[in-house]
Amino acid sequence: MRRFTITLKSNKLFKGLVAAVFWVGVWQLISMAVAQELLVPAPLAVLSALSGLIKTMEFWRITGISLARIMLGFLSGIAAGCIAAALTTRFKAADCIISPFLRIVRATPVASFTILALVWINNDWLPVFISFLMVVPIVWSNLESGIKQIDVQLLEMAKVYRLGFLKTLIFVRIPSVMPYFMAACATAMGFSWKSGIAAEVISRPGLSVGRQLYNAKIYLETPGVFAWTITVVLISLCLEKLLAAAAKKFGSRFNA
């Protein structure tokens, strides 16, 4: 069994490696065909730009601050999404007022919000606000359908055995909704990170990945643009993996 899982894992790793080599090869060929570093820098040029970046303290500070900023938006978005879902499923009036608003927010492009919010919000806080705004509707709509799916039979059991509000919440409602919540977090994480970076590019707070991306573009440092983009993608993948691991650890407890 153990041997089998190891082979499976290394097989997956091997496949990933083959795919990576293939696409880097394609990239190399394109850059050779275009033959202009300004348009498509070679993989090696990007790698050297990236390795130059990660050696600096500045890089880690900038990445850390961007991450903290966007995580703040993400976490507050989750909290607000949970509250919104609780309200819209509990009170008809809240449903009438909040639901259409969140549907509009969900359908509005990030750029529109960012440009609008630039007028009202300080540059440093804009990415927080944008990632918050992206997360709320995702968490809300997932949780809302989760709450509607709670097994009525289990709620009746809780009522007959007089579990009361708190025990019913903790032992029946929350575990029922947990798989929906985990799925919402996984989706929202990617969204909030990418939209947060997009907001940073537009608002350009002092220390931010977005500003670095923008500057690299302005100064025609295309390898820099690529290097920062790779950073964004890598962090996005790490966050995804982290969340998937958390979902596996906690989520399986709640699967029926």
Partner 1 sequence: MAITLRDVSFSYDGNKKILDGFSIEFPEKGAVCLMGPSGCGKTTLLRLIAGLEHPQSGTVTGLEGLRAAYVFQENRLLPWMTAFDNVAIASGGFGRQPDAAVWLEKMGLGGNQLKRPKELSGGMKQRVAIARALAAKANFIILDEPFAGLDISLWQQISDMILTEYSDKLIILVTHIPEQAVALKADVIKLDGPPLRFA
Interface residues toward partner 1, by CB under 8 A:
153-154, 156-157, 159-163, 167, 171-172, 175, 253-256
Could you give the residue ranges of the DSSP H alpha helices within the chain? 2-34, 43-54, 57-90, 92-107, 110-120, 126-148, 152-160, 164-168, 174-203, 209-218, 222-246
Nearer to partner 1, 27 or 254 (CB): 254
Burial grade of 37 (CB within 10 A; 0-12, 13-18, 19 or more): middle
Q: Which two tokens stand for residue 227?
A: 């290097």
CB of 153 to partner 1, least distance (A): 5
Cβ proximity to partner 1: between 5 and 255 the closer is 255
CA distance 73 to 67: 10
Task: Check: CB of residue 139 under 8 Å from CB of residue 180.
Answer: no
* Spatial separation of the C-alpha atoms in residues 39 and 223, rounded to whole Å: 9
Cβ pair 86, 139 in contact under 8 A: no
* Whole-number Å distance between alpha carbons of 240 and 234: 10
- CA distance linking residue 84 with residue 22, whole number of Å: 45
- Measured from the CB atom, the residue of 2 and 253 that comes closer to partner 1 is 253
Label residue 184 exposed, middle or buried (CB < 10 Å: 0-12, 13-18, 19+).
Answer: buried
> In terms of CB distance, is 112 or 153 closer to partner 1?
153
To partner 1, the closest distance from the beta carbon of 149 in angstroms equals 13
Least distance CB 88 / partner 1 (angstroms): 25
Task: Tell me how far, at minimum, the Cβ of 255 lies from partner 1, in Å.
Answer: 8
Shortest Å, Cβ 169 to partner 1: 13
Q: Please, which residue, 36 or 153, has the CB nearer to partner 1?
A: 153
Give residues with Cβ within 8 angstroms of 201, minimum separation 6. 210, 211, 213, 214
Closest contact distance (angstroms) between CB of 181 and partner 1 is 13
Q: Report the nearest approach of partner 1 to the CB of residue 151 (Å).
A: 8
